[in-house]
Amino acid sequence: MSIVGLFAQLLAVILALALAPLLTGWVNQWRAWLQNRRAPGLLQPYRVLHKLFNKESVVAEHASPIFRVAPYIMFGCMALACGIAPTLSTDLPLAPAADAIALVGLFALARVFISLAAMDIGTSFGTLGARREMLIGFLAEPALLMVLFSASLITQSTSLAMIVETLAHQPFAIYPSLAVAGVAFTMVSLAENARVPVDNPATHLELTMIHEALILEYSGRHLALVEWAASLKLFAYSCIGLALFVPWGVAEAGTPIAILFAIPMLVVKLAVGGVLLALIETINAKMRLFRVPEFLATAFLLAVIALLVHVLLGA
């Protein structure tokens, strides 16, 4: 374990904590522009977090410790997930101990605790949102695993750092399996991050909301941690997508200079990805809730096809 590796790991986590709200603001801004609406400020998520952290948290009288601890667990899981994904360097101390399967486990752990917290206080909205969230997780996690396995077959490793090192060193080539897996990953990412067409983060309608139903009873610093964790989840999924499908620009030399040069490359890739996400949300309509299983089943089928394409064709 080198000092440079520790520096890269610490810098990746700090950068994720700092840039995650900015990425959310960037996507919201472009989404408003593409819909011919007046866009909120780029720093609006930071203002919201500052306001919530300075407010008092109101907790239900009969809430158990699960309700109070769930935001901290969710935030910790998302911060750790951002540390596992190779955003700046492949020399990460967490890489040997945590691979893609552990990454999916972190997402599942956060989902379980926020769903338990939503059901803990006994409101109808919380229970409704928890059931919907667990349904999406039940369908999205196998699809995400199949996508990660498709990339691991090419590199013979489930470590994201090893995937980046292998793909970045190879000559540029278009893998049909990765192309199909990329479509599946995009569909899973939209569902996991409560984006259109699966969910709409800007609505509180009973018939459509999923993520918002989970957090209606939170306030103050608890709500701030949940919102920050949601931004970290979007940041983590963006970095996972970059590691799998656009692995170039990540530092491999293991020097502080190379890591610092990787920061602007990461910002550029995230900016382009944010615009594409806003475009996808703009050209699609919110689908009915009962169509979501079909949407995620299609993502799983595409991921399995990507796996079979590599096994049968070796490409």
Domain boundaries, the chain: 3-313
Alpha-carbon torsion (167, 168, 169, 173), positive or negative:
positive
Q: Does residue 315 contact residue 177 with C-beta atoms inside 8 Å?
A: yes
In which element (H, E) is residue 3 found? helix 3-34
Nearest to 182 by CA among 150, 208, 205, 226: 150
Q: Does residue 132 contact residue 180 with C-beta atoms inside 8 Å?
A: no
pLDDT tens track for 259-289: 888 899 999 999 999 999 999 999 998 888 8
pLDDT tens track for 113-167: 999 999 998 888 888 889 999 999 999 999 999 999 988 888 888 888 888 888 8
Q: Does the predicted model carry a pTM greater than 0.85? A: yes
